[in-house]
Amino acid sequence: MRYWPAYYQGLGVPLGRLKQFHRVSKLKRSHINVRQLLWPILALSIVYARPGLAEAESEFLLFPFAMASYLSGLPADSLLDDDENDFGLNLFAAIENGGFVFLGEALLAKEEQEIERLQLGWRFGDSKAWLGRFHNPIGYWNTQFHHGAYLQTSITRPAIVDYEDDNGVLPMHLAGLLIEGVKEHDNSGLGYAIAIATGPELADELEPLDVLSPTSGSQGLSLAINVFRQPVVYAPNQYGLFANYTEIPARERGLEEIRQTIAGGYWNWESELWRLIGSAFYVRNRVYQANDDQADDFVAGYFQAERSLNDDWTIFGRVEKTFASDNDAYLALFPDHAREKILGGLRLNVFSRHSLTLEVSSNHQQDGRYRQFMLQWAAMF
């Protein structure tokens, strides 16, 4: 069922029925059969086939979470539910043996079950080369915070870096080759990440390659680069620049293709009490239809400040804005994308590996505003 509210409402489909289909369309494939597990099993076997099995080291981590959300002020024809809840578990594994590294991340949640990352890597010097599905190395947020809710101070991600299945407008997952590393020089570091991969296709939403069914979709070329400097090497502070080019097939949306170019910069600055994260994106999209094409561009950015009140309490706030024309053809494909958001929240660390977070936000979409109240428990084991 295509998610296209105005079209189906024009056919007389009730709003409640549309909301039901909207929720169904967000569910990922949850039928993982044995044949589909052959790829991760093959990757693991390459790691363990190396001599010196006893030298293999591993990290296995679990990130459970539960989240409740209430939205107020929604437009009458919005497909968003005014209250949502979600719970689940993010599983992470990293196994290293003799220079080979296996990394996997899976999300098992009420609304979604998906292999988020599946990477086989090889370490050479201070760099690593990866094959598989990985986070697009654009900006700071997408490489620092993944699906483990406990690691991220705020509950939500900035809208410009929302995941594809959360109304995201940019590719957050790529599949292919990633090379990354940090070079030291005079106690500072110069880092890089280069990706030659496939990006998402645009159906109901941006859909990256499903690593368990790699031939099931239609993806196009994606090239990405991120270069950054760490004033003190391997320390948290860093600032950098990034660029990304992606060809996005969009036939299921009645379009030929979208060619997207992204460029931007970011920084992360921390002291013992403060953390400041910011990023700016320039995005240009050329939307190709059968007999026409249209090019539009927009600028988006966010700034988040966090202040530790003590070891347990952290207060945070974030502002985000997208500067785009009202008839931007690309953004019109994502009516739920929040073009402006201001939020504040409070996080409490409890029992050393648990957290409770409250977040309140004001969100401005293409056709309306709403407020959101969210409460989340997250942990790490």
Give residues in contact with other proteins (CB under 8 A): 55, 57-59, 61, 92, 94-96, 101-103, 119, 121, 123, 126, 128, 143-144, 146, 148, 151, 180, 184, 187, 232-236, 270, 272, 311
Entry field: residues in the chain:
381
Instruction: Measure the CA–CA gap between 171 and 245, rounded to whole angstroms.
Output: 10
- Minimum distance from residue 328 beta carbon to other proteins (Å): 32
Q: Of 135 and 339, which CB lies nearer to other proteins in the complex structure?
A: 135
Tokens 């999209």, located at residue: 285
Instruction: Measure the CA–CA gap between 330 and 347, rounded to whole angstroms.
Output: 35
Q: Of 55 and 82, which CB lies nearer to other proteins in the complex structure?
A: 55
Cβ partners under 8 Å of residue 14, min gap 6? none
Q: Of 108 and 233, which CB lies nearer to other proteins in the complex structure?
A: 233
- Minimum distance from residue 94 beta carbon to other proteins (Å): 4
* Tokens (6 digits) for 141: 């947020």
- Minimum distance from residue 159 beta carbon to other proteins (Å): 22
The answer to whether 202 and 253 have CB atoms below 8 angstroms apart is yes
- Minimum distance from residue 373 beta carbon to other proteins (Å): 27
CB burial of residue 49 (10 Å; 0-12, 13-18, 19+): exposed
Tokens 């594994």, located at residue: 93
- Minimum distance from residue 344 beta carbon to other proteins (Å): 22
Q: Of 45 and 294, which CB lies nearer to other proteins in the complex structure?
A: 45
Q: Of 134 and 302, which CB lies nearer to other proteins in the complex structure?
A: 134
Which residue from 40, 146, 134, 51 is spatially nearest to 100, judged by alpha carbons?
Answer: 51
- Minimum distance from residue 78 beta carbon to other proteins (Å): 34
Q: Of 20 and 58, which CB lies nearer to other proteins in the complex structure?
A: 58
Instruction: Measure the CA–CA gap between 83 and 18, rounded to whole angstroms.
Output: 16
